[in-house]
Structure 1
Amino acid sequence: MTQPLDPDMFRACAQVTPLIQVGDKWTAKIIRCLEAGPRRFSELRVPLRGITPKVLTETLRAMERDGLVTRTVYAEVPARVEYELSPLGRTLLKPLAAACEWAVAHMAEVTHARQVYEPL
């Protein structure tokens, strides 16, 4: 028989913010958008249909805080800002590529499982 989970198993880290946010809705997609090099905010919004400017800003700030992206502001009028994957952020490219490959290979199975679980 499996041991029950310790109710205090997360007590030591309960007040600690997670180190990275790869599992949220947008971070992995932003990483893929920055794979080929730096991009401006407006460029990122194009493939990220459905993201609001507020959420994109919050996600980029969180990624910058976690060391996944660098933000460069150019002294121009109007100011130009570019976002680029940091060396740490680039270490996520290979695992994300594997996850994307898995998703493509198994999307039909996942879709079927979802339909069985929650029939229309």
Structure 2
Amino acid sequence: MSTAAPGYVIGYLENVDVGPEIIEYIERIEGTFEPYRGHWLVHNMPHVNHEGNLPGNIIVIGFPSVTAAREWFASEPYQQIAPLRTEHAESIVLSVEGVPEGYRGADTTAKMRASLGAD
């Protein structure tokens, strides 16, 4: 049985000017999650660079679908607080659809082989 794929908002922040605005942003952001059933998966946890260099902070927020993730990001309550972050940190933020439960990489390679005409 296939279930809907989750959605994620992934943020990469560096050069964060920690001050009253960033603190307010963190205090208020969770209140914007509830209508979209969002929840923290990763928030300001240390990471290890195995390849390449990513010196900033990683944030991952999970949602039941990529539609919910995108609706949350575009929502008025979130957009009202976004400048508290954007004016005090360099950020890259994106949304992405996750894979459904039970996904296997072989599903993708089978489609790739079929598109190449290789069986």
TM-score using structure 2 length: 0.27
What's the TM-score, normalizing by structure 1?
Answer: 0.27
The structure with the largest strand share of the pair is 2
More helix by percentage: 1
The answer to which structure, 1 or 2, has the higher relative contact order (CA under 8 A, 6+ apart) is 2
Which structure has the larger Rg over C-alpha atoms?
1
